[in-house]
Amino acid sequence: GHLRHVESMATLPSGAGKISHLNAVILGESLASEEDDLVFPSQEFTSQALVSSPEQYMSMYKRSIEDPAGFWSDIASKFYWEVKWGEKVFSENMDIRKGTVNIEWFKGGRTNICYNALDRHIQAGNGGQIAIYWEGNEPGQDGNLTYSQLLEKVCQLANYLRDIGVRKGDAVAIYLPMLAELPIAMLACARIGAVHSVVFAGFSAESLAQRIIDCKPKVIITCNAVRRGSKIIYLKDIVDSALVESSKNGTSVDVCLTCENQSAMNRESTKWQEGRDFWWQDIIPKYSTVSTIEWVDAEDPLFLLYTSGSTGKPKGVLHTTGGYMIYTATTFKYAFDYKPTDIYWCTADCGWITGHSYVTYGPLLNGATVVVYEGAPNYPDSGRCWDIVDKYKVTIFYTAPTLIRSLMRDGDEFVTRYSRKSLRVLGSVGEPINPSAWRWFYNVIGGARSPISDTWWQTETGGFMITPLPGAWPQKPGSATFPFFGVQPVIVDEKGTEIEGECSGYLCVKNSWPGAFRTLYGDHERYETTYFKPFPGYYFTGDGCSRDKDGYHWLTGRVDDVINVSGHRIGTAEVESALVSHPKCAEAAVVGVEHEVKGQGLYAFVTLVEGEPYSEELRKSLVLAVRNQIGAFAAPDKVHWAPGLPKTRSGKIMRRILRKIASRQLDELGDTSTLADPGVVEQLIALNDC
Ligand code: WTA
């Protein structure tokens, strides 16, 4: 009876994959040797889990697909709305052939995400609970804020921003490291309806300037310097040059609010521009700790976050308020099986989407206690993460495969030295996690006790799209498993035809979900062209994916010109344009190669201007050009001198061939006869190790 019940559930709308086979597996019917890689959650875990069986998942999933309006409005009703949304819970057009792409959720509803993340919990009597444990780069340096204290700090900054004229809809740039001031700044913007644009503090002055020019903020919030590991980074200097650069371009920013980060640098040594620069510590504490809330429409913008695409210009991904709020809160709750007793730590920086959705908004909307760590994960040594886990009794630990691989390389002793017994759920994000890293994470870090939520999602999606619900599914190391509620992933072939069953192809999504981005800032056309034109009728993710016979999803990486380095998305075009800006570089082509720790590394083929000799010095200065224009995280791992690049007769660079040369798969070069000059390939191979 049990089995039959599950199978009837399995006739889901297409997109859910074929799950029926899986049910047999779960019920122990076909545990053949090929399925030995299934990892089941323990009885102990399942018995307390929010979603504790495939059947429960399936009935919830089924409802979310058949009745999205009902499913999501039931959840949304648990949040605070000053005015409830209008008649329609959502409206969408994802089909470019039917006109302009448009997605709206909870339109007409008026709410505030800061109110829902802070005030709501305080009103429920939880103001004394810790919202943020802040851990500094140096062991022993720490602090914490209760929900009430966090709200007071947010209100003070909100009042200041209002006082200097920041209004609803205005952009505010934030260039901060992982100080508590970073989530505070985000929440203060949200409170007054301003649109935050956080720029990861590892981006260079030029990248920061580019983003400032695009969104024209009234104010930028930064700090003078930060310690990361043993290095000091002078952020204020970077902001200073970015502001010089942007004002040359006609965008001047009137105010630079600067946090004094004494552990890195005192104010006396900080360069200062009177009239523009203000110390946070001198001004903000003078403001009132209460502030009114700007009620905004669910579809009013919440933030902009720039991400890389296949052209040189970064895309300003725009998220709105209501749908994003409901989606990040709900995905956080279910994918991490969140309980009020949890202590949660996500190692991501708020400069990326993971930090937006799963350091700040998702957890705080659930009233969670969050660890915010300023420093490097391997400082002062490779045991630091577990030191922090033990110190705060972290129960949910969410990180990226690149960190797992690098710690794995450093050896188990750094892990086993610590107890880690508080851990109960682990999470992974940013790139496919290879099964060996998965197993090490599971066995060594988690002591084979804690399920891993391998969450597949994107800046664009706002929140998790394909992810295990830790108590519901047996896992397969390396698979992100099944779609989250309301999400209908489909795999399509070259022609955009949906393929069913066991298959592999391009990953698309049918129908909207509340956390979807609504546009690219100032360029709705690019939004449509990039995401909705390639496979009409669907949102195209840019990722390849295969589905196995049990319906599990396996992400296979980007299929466009985006490279995923340590979980950071880098457009090849951006790196190429940085290289070409070097006066001695005539042409450049960048491809991704497998990298033991970073997942993918950047491999640059560079053609120098006529007559320029190769030298180590020149190689360094080319890499420096990339560091200066984008940031250190985008520095190529390898520069390969190229007398010429393999091009088709129409002048298109054949990256397929370059990828093979870069990964030394010389016997797999394929057909080179269509090249304008097939001899180029021989030359490149000859110069392999120069
Ligand atoms: C990749 C980060 C496999 C993917 C949240 C996606 C993943 C890109 C996973 C988005 C995962 C992210 N398994 N691949 N669990 N998570 N990716 O916008 O290629 O920085 O398209 O968002 O990262 O990167 P983004």
In whole angstroms, what is the distance from residue 431 CA to residue 354 CA?
A: 12
Share of the chain above pLDDT 70, in %: 94
The 3-state DSSP class for residue 595 equals strand
Atom 12 of ligand 1, nearest CA residue: 430
Ligand 1 environment, Cβ below 6 A = 307, 352-354, 428-432, 454-459, 480, 541-543, 555, 557-558, 564, 569
pLDDT at 6 over 60: no
The 3-state DSSP class for residue 409 equals helix
ipTM over 0.90: yes
pLDDT at 672 over 90: no
DSSP summary character for residue 434: P
Q: Which of 195, 347, 372, 313 is nearest to 576 (CA)?
A: 313
Please tell me the distance between residue 123's alpha carbon and the centre of ligand 1 in angstroms. 36
pLDDT score of 310: 78
Which has more pLDDT, 32 or 60? Answer: 60
Q: Which of 519, 521, 522 is nearest to 531 (CA)?
A: 519
CA-542 nearest atom, ligand 1? 21
DSSP line for 310-337: SSSSPEEEEEESHHHHHHHHHHHHHHTT
**Measured between alpha carbons, how far apart are the two ends of the chain, in Å?**
68
383 to 375, 389, 412, 413: CA distances (angstroms): 13, 10, 9, 8
In whole angstroms, what is the distance from residue 372 CA to residue 379 CA?
A: 15
Atom 5 of ligand 1, nearest CA residue: 458
CA-428 nearest atom, ligand 1? 15
Q: Which of 552, 530, 517, 54 is nearest to 328 (CA)?
A: 517
pLDDT at 23 over 50: no
CA-562 nearest atom, ligand 1? 19
What are residue 345's DSSP bridge partners?
A: 371, 397
pLDDT score of 231: 95
Please tell me the distance between residue 543's alpha carbon and the centre of ligand 1 in angstroms. 8
Residue 690 banded pLDDT, cuts 50, 70, 90: low
Averaged pLDDT score across all residues of the chain: 93
pLDDT score of 438: 97
In one letter, which amino acid is 622?
L
pLDDT score of 27: 42
pLDDT score of 602: 97
Please identify which of the residues 237, 390, 560, 637 carries the catalytic annotation.
Answer: 560
560 counts as catalytic: yes
Contact call for residues 171 and 213 (beta carbons, < 8 A): no
SS (H, E, C) 67-110: CHHHHHHHHHCCCCCCECCCCCCEEEECCHHHCCCEEEECCCCE
pLDDT at 418 over 60: yes
Q: Which of 364, 313, 408, 374 is nearest to 181 (CA)?
A: 374
pLDDT score of 26: 44
51-60, 357-366, 663-672: range with lowest mean pLDDT: 663-672
Q: What is the mean pLDDT of residues 422-434?
A: 97
The 3-state DSSP class for residue 203 equals strand
pLDDT score of 689: 64
In one letter, which amino acid is 318?
L
Q: What is the mean pLDDT of residues 638-643?
A: 96
In whole angstroms, what is the distance from residue 132 CA to residue 361 CA?
A: 12
In whole angstroms, what is the distance from residue 137 CA to residue 302 CA?
A: 30
pLDDT at 179 over 70: yes
pLDDT at 187 over 50: yes
pLDDT score of 30: 39
Atom 6 of ligand 1, nearest CA residue: 458
In whole angstroms, what is the distance from residue 659 CA to residue 679 CA?
A: 17
Which pair of tokens denotes residue 64?
A: 């979310």
The 3-state DSSP class for residue 427 equals strand
DSSP summary character for residue 141: -
Angle 445-446-448 (CA atoms, 0-180°, nearest 5)? 125
pLDDT in tens, 556-584: 999 999 999 999 999 999 999 999 999 99
Name the residue of 431, 541, 563, 598 whose CB sits within 8 Å of the most ligand 1 atoms, as the mutation to test its pocket: 431
pLDDT in tens, 232-281: 999 999 999 999 999 999 999 999 999 999 999 999 999 999 999 999 99
Which pair of tokens denotes residue 234?
A: 């002078």
Name the residue of 520, 547, 555 whose CB sits within 8 Å of the most ligand 1 atoms, as the mutation to test its pocket: 555
Please tell me the distance between residue 58's alpha carbon and the centre of ligand 1 in angstroms. 25
Beta 219-223 vs 255-259: how paired, if at all? parallel
pLDDT score of 312: 76
DSSP line for 523-585: -HHHHIIIIISSSTTSEEEEEEEEE-TT--EEEEEESSSEEEETTEEEEHHHHHHHHHTSTTE
Residue 108 banded pLDDT, cuts 50, 70, 90: very high
Share of the chain above pLDDT 90, in %: 91
Residue 311 banded pLDDT, cuts 50, 70, 90: confident
Please tell me the distance between residue 456's alpha carbon and the centre of ligand 1 in angstroms. 6
pLDDT at 34 over 50: no
pLDDT at 406 over 90: yes
60-69, 306-315, 382-391: range with lowest mean pLDDT: 306-315
CA-454 nearest atom, ligand 1? 15
Q: Which of 500, 33, 72, 521 is nearest to 319 (CA)?
A: 521
Please tell me the distance between residue 428's alpha carbon and the centre of ligand 1 in angstroms. 10
pLDDT score of 7: 36
pLDDT at 62 over 90: yes
Please tell me the distance between residue 605's alpha carbon and the centre of ligand 1 in angstroms. 26
pLDDT in tens, 439-464: 999 999 999 999 999 999 999 999 99
